[in-house]
Structure 1
């Protein structure tokens, strides 16, 4: 069934339609919010709040034109309100350096390398403008179409394409720059030892 059909069923009070709709969107929405918040408990709270707001919308007789975009827009707005809250601000001051969740099993070399790359990408993304970070997250982590991203963020499709291009370019330069810096750092250390030997 389509999203629209399920939403019409939910408006009629059909429990099966509600369960099917939640099953369709709970996992991807939860994954998105966990990436945004880095807090599984808070992410689950926001998932529930998003569905509650959808039910309130339906009770008013209003069916979202694009259910997926509507859900992510509500979820993103919940995150933004939370980040502005005094609770979040004071909590951030207490947590100087949040722990990284890293799989450090030494036998799994490939997994460690992938994790390192993922950490670099996430670290680099944190330095991007908010809109570019949101677009890249929705596009590559949530596999969302560009038009749907435009609906979520309420900006023109052309702006989404521009920000996506600029964001990816920045990420590429950042990651390539870090790789070059590491290589140059190793070379510089070698050069220093060599110069010291010649003296």
Structure 2
């Protein structure tokens, strides 16, 4: 949680500099784009594509598109997620593959070598339960929850990324959370 907050503060403070550099066509914009957004984009693309190698390739291609672009919108972060989403969906369509419903990778997962066997077993069980809970949601609800809680985007930004009215984003968030709470309470009883 603290790492995500630090990333968010860093993105907010460096994004105006990034936008200005991109608009001026400065060469340093690529390095700044990489520093500020690479980890978030890698995690986001990995969730769509299922492998780290595919996600790394996708992030490279997305950053190339951004750097070659003629205009940079004011709401850069939402626009970048939209570009990434569209790129990943295009890749999936080209390959004839569907999303694999795997749990999202996070940089907060501790290294297995640093914990004991019992801790790893408990963590695996919790991840398995969480996977089952997420599988119970519709793909639309999973996507909105992922953008909100894994990527920390606002409802307005999510609406922009998905080309939806904010009211629909709000309702999908609410419905998804209600379903998760329902299923979580059922699983706790078993």
Q: Which has the higher contact order (CA 8 A, sep 6+)?
A: 2
Name the count of aligned residue pairs: 169
Cα distance change, pair 176–24 in 1 and its aligned pair in 2 (3 A): same
**Contact 1:50/1:75 (8 A) holds in 2:** yes
Runs of 4+ in 1 over 4 A off after TM superposition: 102-106
TM-score (ref. length: structure 1): 0.72
Q: CA RMSD in A?
A: 2.8
Task: Within 5 Å, give how 1:1-199 maps onto structure 2.
Answer: 2-57=14-69, 60=70, 62-88=71-97, 103=112, 107-180=116-189, 182=190
- Structure 1 unaligned blocks of 5 or more: 183-199
Give the Cα separation in 2 of the matches to 1:75 and 1:107. Answer: 37
SS of 1:85 mapped into structure 2: helix
By how many angstroms is 1:2 displaced? Answer: 4.6
CA–CA distance in 2 between the matches of 1:177 and 1:24?
A: 40
For the 8 Å contact 1:6–1:17, the answer to whether it is kept is yes
In structure 2, C-alpha distance between the alignment counterparts of 1:5 and 1:82, rounded to whole Å: 30
Larger Rg: 1
For residue 106 of structure 1, report the CA deviation from its aligned partner.
Answer: 8.2
Structure 2 portions without partners, runs of 5+: 1-12, 103-110
TM-score (structure 2 length as normaliser): 0.75
Q: What's the CA shift string for 1:91-114, capped at 9, x where partnerless?
A: x8xxxx9xxxx9599834345323
